[in-house]
Each structure stands twice: as C-alpha cells, then as structure tokens.
Amino acid sequence: MAGIRTHWSGRNNRAGLEAASMRFTWLWPAFVVIPVLIGGLAVCFLGWRRSRAQGRSAIVAWARRTLMVVAVALCGAAPGVAVLPTTGVAPVEVYFVVDRTGSMAAEDYNGSEQRMNGVKSDLLELLEAYPNARYSIIAFDSSATTQLPVTTDTNAVRSWVDVYEREVTESSHGSNMNRPVERLDEALTRSQEKNPDHVRLVYLFSDGETRDDSANAQLDYSGLADKIDGGAVFGYGTPEGGQMKEMKYDGTEGNYIEDPDSNETALSRIDEEALQTISSQLGVSYEHRTAPGGVESLTEDTTGLVAEAQARQESSIYTPRIWPFGLLLAVLAVWEIAALVPQVRNMRELTGIERRRAGGTIGGSGGPGGVTSVVGGAALGASGGQISGQRSTAKMMQEVRR
C-alpha cells in the first residue's frame, strides 16, 4: 500500500498538466462537422479545376480557401489533449460502515479498552492508506444514517472519528446487522451511475451482534457484492465477552449495564460467524481486530485496483486545443480579404466603364442627325482606343473571376 501512497503523492508535485494522447472532443456534433468539411472541400476542388488554367495566383487562392475549410472543421472537432490532473484526487471511494450500538462500548479490545477505540484507530489508519480518495461514513445503531456524504475532506473524516460515540442506552432499540444494507446500497448505486469507473471499497466495523426481534433473520449483504471492488469486515470483541457502561443523554457514562434476566453485569460477545457471513457475501476478507496497527498491510490487495482506476482516469481526461486552428483561420481570413480588395476595386472600375459606355450610346442615338454624324465620326476616329479599352476590361473580368 505504500506504493499507492507514493504514486499519488508524486502526482501532486507535478506542475501543470502532462499530455498523454489526443482525440476529438467535438465542440460541434460530428454530423455537423463532417458535412461542412466534405461540402467545403468539394466546392474548393471544383473552384480549383475551373480556375487552374488562369495561372498560379488562382491555384494559391483555392489552396488558401481549402485550408480555411479544414481549419473550421478542426475547430468544430476540437482535438483534445489527454492530461494528468493536478488535483491529486484518486478515483477511489471508501465507504466506512460503523456500528454505533451500545455493545461497541464493551471493554475487551486490546486488553480492557472499549471496542470503539479500535474502530477509531483502524479507521484513521485506513484514511492514511488511501490519502487522496473520496470517503463516506454510514453509521448504524437503532437506525442507519449517512453521517458523512462522499467527500475528499480528510479533516471532516477525522472530526467525525473524534466525536464517534455509541447511541444513548435508553433510546436503543437493539442491534441489527442488516440495518445499514439499504442505506449502503443506495449510496453504491448512486456512485455506479455517476462515476462508473471509480473503485468502490467498503470497510465494515462491528462486533456482529444482533439483539432485536430479527435475531434469527438471514443476513443480506450479497446484493452489494457486484457494486464494490474490495474492502474488509473488521470484527471487535472476544468470545469471552466484555462489560459495557451506559451512555446517558448528557453524553456521560453511567453504570455497567445489567442483564435484566440475571441482574448481573451484562457481557457482549463478538459474533464472528455473522461477521464472516457478511464478508463472504460481500466477497471481501474478514479481520478480527484485537489491537491497533497493521491495517495498512490489509489493504495491499487493492493496490492493483487503484492503479487501474488511476490509469483509466488519466486516459479519459481531455482538454480541447482549439486556439492553434483558430489562429490559422484568422491568418487565412486576413490573407483572403487582402486578396479580394484589388478584385473588388477592379469590379468597381469595370462597372463604371460599362455605365459610361451605356450613357454614351443612349446620348448618340437620341440626338439630331448632324450630331449623330459628328459622334459617329468621333467614334470611328477612336476605334483604336475602344479596342484597347475592351482588352483592359477583359483583363479585369479575368481578375474578378479568380
């Protein structure tokens, strides 16, 4: 597990983003980009075929327009570069399912300590084993509640551990190991739908006792097995049992709880058979916890799962890189405008010539005969100039067509 910690913390020291590969992220839908590309290229090809006999300038013009079409299509396709996020958050969700029933105060952990002390120690060790994961805490006593929704805030987890306490004795309705199943199932289902690529680990902390009317009910954790990737069931207590004190409403401890049948000090004993059944149904290991330490070695079987999830996350994060194609398009557009300016000027000159010619023809045909003769003579005298003007006009027309 130390290897996992080194892998994650090493990523935190990377400055910026590291590129891995590229793929299209589609700023516009593919069914828009592809027709635009094909249609634009077809128009450019036809334009090139019609104008290639007009010289090099026409070929350059249509090559420029072809590049513009390609640049527009690439902006729409939005090539994305795979990057490694610098946040350091791993795609791992760790669910802590914690028993808060009165029996967790039994004094048979690590000698004569309360079982809750063992839960606190082990939970904090798991927090260290998965330093960059997401965490959630579900506690169960007379009911099951989500104490902490999925979060990356390790301080929130530590704060909960600091105040972790058993339920008030007088308000207890007995313990039932099936109580957290529904709440845990809901959380895992939401996670699967929202983050299907995440690794989900479940760690259950309990003594396995069931002391209510459902004592003979079948344990039902098997439906969760397909929704998790690993974890463990941690058992606390001894077969000999331990005595436990009452918890009052004001948060203070009372006397040792007595057995109402014998009026002697009650003892709580670990139910390892129930805990092993739960671990078997979940498909995870069972660990009998009798003293602090050694939790990190119990998480080594998740190393491969975490590494695979990390690789999937890194290969699925892409940042679009559009600006190079936008810059290329802007340069080509400026070039195109610069090339069109003289053509527009020539078009205006050609229009002026045509208007003047039309005006001269109308004036000549509508005047007296003498004027007509003079105009006709002038026209004959200037025939050479007209031919030269026609040649210039033809040349301008050719420039415009380009």
* pLDDT digits 0-9 by tens, 50-80: 888 888 888 899 999 999 999 999 999 988 8
Q: Which of 123, 9, 24 is nearest to 76 (CA)?
A: 24
| Torsion angles phi and psi, residue 172, rounded to 5 | -75, 140
Structure tokens at 374: 């003079």
Residue 240 pLDDT greater than 90, yes or no:
yes
User: What does the DSSP 8-state code read for residue 51?
Assistant: H
Choice among 23-37, 281-295, 301-315 with the minimum mean pLDDT: 301-315
Instruction: Please indicate whether residue 361 or residue 305 has the higher confidence score (pLDDT).
Output: 305
In this structure, the number of other CB atoms found within 10 A of the CB of residue 31 comes to 8
* pLDDT digits 0-9 by tens, 137-189: 999 998 999 999 999 999 999 999 999 999 988 887 778 999 999 999 999 99
Structure tokens at 352: 């002026």
Choice among 19-23, 113-117, 159-163 with the minimum mean pLDDT: 19-23
So what CATH class is 92-316? alpha beta
Measure CA 355 to chain center: 65
Read off the pTM.
Answer: 0.61
Report the percent of the chain where pLDDT is more than 90: 52
Q: How many residues does the chain have?
A: 402
- Tell me how far CA of residue 46 lies from CA of 42, 52, 65, 199, 340, in angstroms: 6, 10, 12, 55, 19
Q: Domain boundaries in the chain?
A: 15-84, 92-316, 342-401
Question: Are residues 61 and 50 in contact, defined by beta-carbon separation less than 8 angstroms?
Answer: no
